[in-house]
Structure 1
Amino acid sequence: MHRHSTGSFAKIAFHLLFGLTLLGTQQSYAQRSTSHSPYSQFGLGQMREDLFPQTRAMGGISAGVRYLNGLPTLNITNPASYSGLNRTVLEAGMYGNFTQLSKNDRSDHTADFAFGHIAIGVPLAKYGGLAFGLLPYSDMGYSASSTESIGDIVYRKSVTGEGGINKAFAGYGVSPVKGLSVGVNAGFLFGNLYDITRVTFLSEANAYPTELRETRNIRGASLDYGIQYSKALNRKYNLTVGYSGSLNNQINANRDRMTIITENRTDDYIAPPLDTISTHTFGSSKLTLPLKHNVGFTLSKGYNWMVGADFKYADWSNFQVREGHNKLEKSYGFAVGGQLKPDPTSVRYWNQVDYRLGFRYNQTPVVFRNQRINDMAVTVGFGFPLPETNFGRTFSQVNISAEFGQQGTLKSNLVRERYININFGFTINDSWFIRRSLD
C-alpha cells in the first residue's frame, strides 16, 4: 500500500500563504505606500524589481542566477530558472525603508514597513517547473508644501502622492535541450495612484480648505521572458549565462478627478469631506510599459561561493507622462555581487551562513531641472540556515538584505535621498508528493 506525503511543509506553506496573501490583499486595497521619494511622482512611481532578499543582497544580479549554494533557486526575474527546480520552494517576506531627505540645509527622516512578496515554485520533473506569486510592482509616496499669497489672502498649498501597483504572476520554464532553458512569466498589474493637492487658507478663518484628488486606476497584463545556458566547468565550477526581458506591454489607466471642501482646523486632524464641489471622469487611456533587457552571468563553485554581474536597459521614452511632467528617458544600469559560505562541512553555525555583498548603479529615466536622477547602492546580506527536518527533505533559510543607497542630488535646488532598504525573507525547500511505502 502507498500514500502520498507532503510532510509538515504543506501546513506551514498553507498558513504562511494564507496569512501573507491576506496581508497583501489588505495592503493593495489600502494602497499604503512605502516610498518616501520625491522622485516617485514621475511615471508609475518608485519601481520595485522582481527580486528576493538573496539577490538584492548581491547588488540585484538576476539574469544568470540559477543556483545558490549549488542548489536550484526560485528566481522570478528570469523564468528560465524554473526548469532547474528539484524541490517545491516557498518564498515570503517583508520590506522596510528608512529614508533621509535633504534639500539645501534642511533634512527630514521617514520610515515604513510593508508586505514584501510571496511566491511558490513547483518542479515538474522532465516537464520543467512553474511558479506563481504576488509582489509590489511600484509605489508612490511624495509630499511638498509651500506658503503663498494672492493679495491679502495667505494660504498653504501641499502636494502629496500616495498608492501603489501590485503584480500577480504565473510562470513556466522548461529545458528543451541539455544546458539550455527558456521561460515566461504572465503578470497582471493592479492598483491605484493618488495625486492630492490641498489648499488651506491661513488668513481667512471662515474659509473652507479645498482638496483636489486625482486618481489613476491601473489595470493590465504584462509579459516577461528569459533564457539561460548553464555549463559545468570541470568538476568544480559552474557558469550560467542569462538574459531576461519585458515586452513594451500596454496597460489601462482610468483617471478621474474630484474636488472637495473640508472643515477648517488648526491641528493635525484630517477632517472628513463636508461637500463635493466637482467630479470628472476622463475615461480609459493606454500606458506603454518600458521595453526591458537584462543580460548577466554567474560563476559558482558548488556550495562555497558565487559571483556575478548584470547589465540592465529599459526604454521609457514611449511612456505617456502626465501634463506638466518631463518626458522619461532611457535607463541604464549595472550590478555586481556575490556570496560566500566559509565551510559547508563545518559543524560551526557561522561557517554555514551565506555572506553576501554587492553594488548597483542605475541611471534612472527621470530628468528633472536638467539633472539626470541617478541611483546607486551598496548591498549586504546574510542567509541563515535553519535545521533540516523531515529526514533531510525539508530545509529552510532566513534571508536578510540591506541596501545603503543614494538617489538624486543637492544640485539645482533638488532633493537628495539617502536610504536604507531592509528586506526580510523566509525560504522553505521541500519535496512534495513523495511516494512512500507503508507496511
Structure 2
Amino acid sequence: MHRHSIGTLTKIALTLFLGLMGWGTNSLQAQKSTSHSPYSQFGLGQMREDLLPQTRAMGGISSGVRHLTGFPTLNISNPASYSGLNRTVLEAGLYGNLTQLSKDDRSDNTADFAFSHLAIGVPLSKYGGMAFGLLPYSDIGYSAASTQSIDNLLYKVSLSGDGGINKAFLGYGVSPFKGLSVGGNVGFLFGNLYDRTKVEFPNTRDAYNSETKETRNIRGVTFDYGVQYSRALGRRYNLTVGYNGSLDNQITAKTNVLQTISEPTIGDDESVALDTTHFSNISNRKINLPLKHSLGFTLSKGYNWMVGADVKYADWSNYQVREGENKLGKSYGFAVGGQIKPDPTSVRYWNQVDYRLGFRYNRTPVSFRHQQINDMAVTVGFGFPLPETNFGATFSQFNISAEFGQQGTLSNSLVRERYININIGFTINDTWFRRRSLD
C-alpha cells in the first residue's frame, strides 16, 4: 500500500504559511511604506533585493549560494540554484526596521514592521527545480517640512511620500550537465507610489489648506537569469562560482495628480478634504530598469562552514527620472560573509546552530547636492534548527538576521540615516510529492 505523507510539523507550518500568505497579500494590496529614508524619494524608492534572512545575515552574498550547511537552499537571487533542490522548501518571513535620522544637531527615531517574503521551491528530479512566491521590490517613505512667508503671512510646506512596489515571481532552474546549472525568473511588478505636497496656514483661519497628491501606478514584467558552476575540491570541500543578472527590463508608470482643499485645523488634527480642485492623468510612460550584474563564489566544507563574496553592478543612467528630479547614475558594491556550525554531530543544541556574519558596501545611484550617497552595513544572524519529524524526512529552521547600517552623511547639510533591519524567516524542508511504502 502506498500513500503521500506529509509530516505533522509541516502541516502546522503549512497552515501558518498560508495564513501569512493571506495576511501578506492583504497588506500588500494596501501597502504602507516600511522605508523611512529621505533618499527613497529618488527613482523607485528603496530597493529591497531578492534576499532571504539566511543570505542577508552574510552581507547579502547570493550569486554563488547553492547549499547552506550541506543542504540545497532556496536562493531567489540566482535561479540557477533551483536545480539543486531535493526537497520542497517553504519560506515565509517578516521584516522590522529601526531608523535614526540625523541632520545638523537634530535627530529623530522611527520604527516599522511588515511582511517580508513568501516563497516555495519544488524539486523536479532530473528536470531541475522551480520556485514561485511574493516579496517586496521597493518602497518609499520620506517627509520634510519648512515654514515660509509672503509679507506677514506664514505658511507651512510639507513634502512626504509612501507606498511600495511588490514582486510576484515564477522561476525555473536546470542542470544541463554535471556541475553547471542555469535558470531564470519571470517577475510581475505591481504597486503604487504616492508623493504629497501640502500647503497649510497655521496662524490664520481665513485660508484653505491645499494638498497635491501624485500617484504613480507601477506595472510590468521583469526577467532575471543566473548561472552556477559547482565542483568538489578533494573529498571535503566544495566551490561554487555564480553569476546572476537582469535584462534591460521596461515597465509602465501611469501617473495622475489630485488636488484638494481643506479647512484649517488645530494642533495635530488631520485635515479632511472639502473639495477637489483638479484631477488629471498627466503621463503614461515607459521606464527602463537598470541592467544588473552580480558575480560571486562560495567555498564550503560540508555541514561545518561556508564563506563567500559577491561584487555587484547596476547602471541606472537610462532610468527616466521625473521633471525636476536628480538623474540617477551607476551603482556598484561588494559583499562578504559566511556561516559556521560548530559541530553538526553534537547532541548539544548550540553546537548545531548556524552562526552567520557579513559586511556589505554599496555606492547607490543617488547623488544629492553634489554628494554621493553610500550605504554600508555589518550583518549578523542565526539559524536555529527545529526538531526533525517524519523519520528525518522533514526538517525546519528558524532564521533571524540583523543589518546594522548607515546611509548618507551629515556633510553638506544632508541627512545621515542609521538603521537596524531585522529579518525573521521560517524555513521548512520536506519530501513532498514522493510516494512512500507502508508495511
TM-score (norm 1): 0.98
Alpha-carbon contact 2:10-2:428 (below 8 Å) kept: no
Give the paired residue count.
Answer: 439
Show the 5 A alignment for 1:136-151: 136-151=136-151
Percent identical: 74
Distance 1:186 1:259 in 2: 37
Task: Give 1:285 shift.
Answer: 0.5
What residue identity is the alignment partner of 1:172?
A: Y
Give the aligned residue type for 1:174: V
Q: Distance in 1 between matches of 2:24 and 2:272?
A: 27
Kindly indicate whether the alpha-carbon contact (under 8 Å) linking 2:7 and 2:389 is maintained by their aligned counterparts in 1: no
Q: Quick one: which amino acid aligns to residue 108 of structure 2?
A: D
Taking the aligned partners of 1:20 and 1:350, their CA distance within structure 2 comes to 29
Q: CA separation in 1, counterparts of 2:395 and 2:265?
A: 56
Distance in 1 of aligned mates of 2:123 and 2:388: 20
Give the residue type in structure 2 aligned to 1:316: W
Which structure 2 residues correspond to residues 127-276 of structure 1 after superposition, within 5 A? 127-276=127-276
| Separation of aligned partners in 2, 1:343 and 1:184 | 35
What is the root-mean-square deviation of aligned Cα atoms in Å?
Answer: 1.0
After TM superposition, give the deviation of residue 269 of structure 1 in Å.
Answer: 2.4
Q: Which moved more, 1:333-342 or 1:27-36?
A: 27-36
Secondary structure in 1 matching 2:166: strand
What pairs with 1:275-294 in structure 2 (closer than 5 Å)?
275-294=275-294
Question: Is 1:99–1:417's contact at 8 Å kept on the other side of the alignment?
Answer: yes
Amino acid of the structure 1 residue aligned with 2:27 = Q
**Gaps in structure 1 of 5+ consecutive residues:** none
Comparing 280-289 with 140-149, greater Cα deviation is found at 280-289
Question: Which blocks of at least 5 consecutive residues in structure 2 are unaligned?
Answer: none
Residue in 2 aligned with 1:88?
A: 88
Distance 1:126 1:210 in 2: 62
1:296 matched residue in structure 2: 296
| Preserved contact between residue 202 and residue 264 of structure 2 (Cα < 8 Å) | no
Checking the alignment, whether the CA contact within 8 Å between 2:75 and 2:82 is kept in structure 1 is: yes
The match for 1:388 is: 388
Matched position secondary structure for 1:252: strand
Q: Is 1:359–2:359 an aligned residue pair?
A: yes
Residue 246 of structure 2 aligns with an amino acid whose one-letter code is: S
Distance 1:394 1:94 in 2: 23
2:321 maps to what in 1?
A: 321
Scaled by the length of structure 2, the TM-score of the pair is 0.98
Q: CA deviation at 1:26?
A: 1.9
Counterpart of 1:155 in structure 2: which amino acid? Y
Deviation per CA, 1:108-166: give whole Å up to 9, x if none: 00000000001000000000000000000000000000100111211011000100000
Partner residue, 1:414: 414
CA distance in 2 between partners of 1:149 and 1:28 (Å): 40
- Structure 2 residue identity aligned to 1:143: S
Q: Does 1:110 align with 2:110?
A: yes
1:245-299 superposed Cα distances (whole Å, 9 cap, x missing partner) = 0112000000000100123211222232111011111241100001000000000
Structure 1 residue 418, shift from structure 2 partner: 0.4
For the 8 Å contact 1:6–1:434, the answer to whether it is kept is no
